[in-house]
Amino acid sequence: MTEKSGPSTTRRGFLKAGLAAGGAVASGGAAYAAGDPAITELQPWMQYLGDGVDARPYGYPSEFESHVKRRNVEWLTADTVSSVNFTPLHELDGIITPNGLCFERHHGGIAEIDPAQHRLMINGLVDKPLVFTMQDLMRFPRENHVYFLECAANTGMEWRGAQLNGCQFTHGMIHNVMYTGIPLKLILEEAGLKTNAKWILPEGADASGMTRSVPMEKALDDCLVAFKMNGEMLRPEQGYPLRLVVPGWEGNMWVKWLRRIEVGDKPWHHREETSKYTDLLENGDARRFTWEMDAKSVITNPSPQAPILHGKGHTVLTGVAWSGRGTIPRVDVTIDGGKNWHQARMDGPSLTKSMHRFYYEFDWDGSPLLLQSRAHDSTGYVQPTKDELRKFRGENSIYHNNGIQTWYVNEKGIAENVEVS
């Protein structure tokens, strides 16, 4: 069997059949004079034995899903070791991001760390500076939480207008994972905080020595020192064997390859909180310490990488929404560019500082669509339009663009990234 060409020929054949039928594909697939060969012909997988249990000791997706992968935008950065790639949101459903598809952002490449050689040090304004091995850390009480991690620069290329065609590129610097980790509070208390301990400086063991200042209030609230994601050890590109989890706050603070936490009385103002991750406004002044991620949503299907290929008729629109300040009780959807809005159907678990899944099913009449979604979070904040954001922030802030995304879908179902009046 020609496994390599299988998926594309099958897909193309189906697509052509659909188009030949004038875009109105019957719900059970195209009609055939002598029956669907997928049914009437004996397929190899029906006849011959497949791989046994040990053929794939660590499982991976079907070969027909090989197009589902993280991708980067080469012109964005100087070199892939200090760069970013993007989660293929348009290929995912539910709320959990599979470990291998979680977007990557490195500042000095992936540190490949032998966990036996990994240490976590707590020093600074503590009663007793401590060193932990991974084994020591595994003896602390653990918790499990699902949190989104969004890069502050997600959608950053869109400040000046619609730029990238695909939600993977416009919104893919996010993932949503269940973490297993130790409440940071327990580790800090083990060392004993001095009364003037107001800030921490988590530091990575990678070649960029990533550091960020985190206020003590947050450190003692819901931060985790995590070692597992979705049940298995962290992936190397996600900070194996240890990363900081800072729920609801910008991804850069979630220091990977965490090796040290210094406790201090003032922030450090390091590179990633001065030169970068500060939000330059129109008047030339910049906001600093913009930690929380504002409520945001995006329609993942249809979208430029996921056009409507079935023609008019019953259509499933879906997307994701999240807020760094709580849950998402409601998402509104419009298909006419914001003239009329409909409440989407929320589905799946609603967890604080986690992605939420929404659906809107409608009968598409085949006329052009202007699709938008608008998230409401549990504080009452409603996702603004891009122009509303620009009124406050101008176009140079790079970070924290949570404006409403618009996809234009033409009569053929092809989608494009646009902005509307």
Residues within window 38-67 making contact with another protein, judged by CB under 8 A: 67
Tokens (6 digits) for 398? 């790079």
| Options 172, 181, 183, 247; binder of another protein; rule CB under 8 A | 183
In the complex with another protein, the residue whose CB is nearer, 233 or 370, is 370
DSSP code, position 259:
E
User: Of residues 255-274, which lie at the interface with another protein (CB under 8 A)?
Assistant: 259-260, 262, 264, 266, 268-271, 274
Instruction: For residue 230, give the DSSP letter.
Output: T
Contact 331, 304 (CB under 8 A): no
| Options 32-40, 147-155, 241-249, 290-298: segment touching another protein (CB under 8 A) | 290-298
CA-atom Rg of the chain in angstroms: 24
The answer for residues whose C-beta is within 8 angstroms of residue 201's C-beta and 6 or more apart is 124, 211, 212, 213, 214, 261, 262, 263, 264, 268, 270
Does 346 interact with another protein (rule: CB under 8 A)? Answer: no
AA letter at 109: G
Which residues, 6 or more positions from 164, have their beta carbon under 8 angstroms from its beta carbon?
73, 157, 158, 170, 417
Q: How many residues bind another protein (CB under 8 A)?
A: 124
Q: In this chain, which stretch among 38-46, 148-156, 179-187, 230-238 interacts with another protein, using CB under 8 A?
A: 179-187
- Binding of residue 248 to another protein (CB under 8 A): no
Q: Which is nearer to another protein, 288 or 345 (CB)?
A: 288
Distance CA 220, CA 183 (A): 8
Among residue numbers 133 through 162, which ones bind another protein (CB under 8 A)? 133, 136-137, 139-146, 160-162
Contact 2, 45 (CB under 8 A): no
Among 30, 93, 98, 108, which residue sits at the site for another protein (rule: CB under 8 A)?
108
From 39-47, 200-208, 226-234, 314-322, give the range in contact with another protein by CB under 8 A: 200-208
226-245 binders of another protein (CB under 8 A): none
Q: How far is the CB of 175 from another protein (least distance, A)?
A: 18
Q: Which residues pair with 315 in a beta bridge?
A: 362
Nearest distance, CB of residue 193 and another protein, angstroms: 12
Closest to another protein by CB, 50 or 404: 404
- Nearest in space to 258 (alpha carbons), one of 122, 408, 58, 407: 122
Rounded to an integer, what distance in angstroms lies between the CA atom of residue 342 and that of residue 147? 27
Token representation of residue 385: 């339009």
Which of 185, 194, 312, 390: binder of another protein (CB under 8 A)?
185
Q: How far is the CB of 243 from another protein (least distance, A)?
A: 17
Among 63, 189, 221, 361, binds another protein (CB under 8 A): 189
Residue 318 binds another protein (CB under 8 A): no
Show the beta-strand stretches assigned E in 134-242: 143-150, 174-183, 199-204, 214-215, 224-229, 232-233
Burial class (CB in 10 A: 0-12, 13-18, 19+), 224: buried
Is the preceding peptide bond at 302 cis, omega within 30 degrees of 0?
Answer: yes
Contact call for residue 2 and another protein (CB under 8 A): no
Span from 34-42, 232-240, 241-249, 411-419 in contact with another protein (CB under 8 A)? 411-419
Nearest to 197 by CA among 135, 263, 100, 242: 263
Report, in Å, the least distance between residue 158 CB and another protein: 9
Q: Can residue 195 be called a binding residue for another protein (CB under 8 A)?
A: no
Q: Does 420 bind another protein (CB under 8 A)?
A: yes
Q: Which of 93, 98, 121, 230 binds another protein (CB under 8 A)?
A: 121
Q: Is 132 helix (H, G, I), strand (E, B) or coil?
A: strand
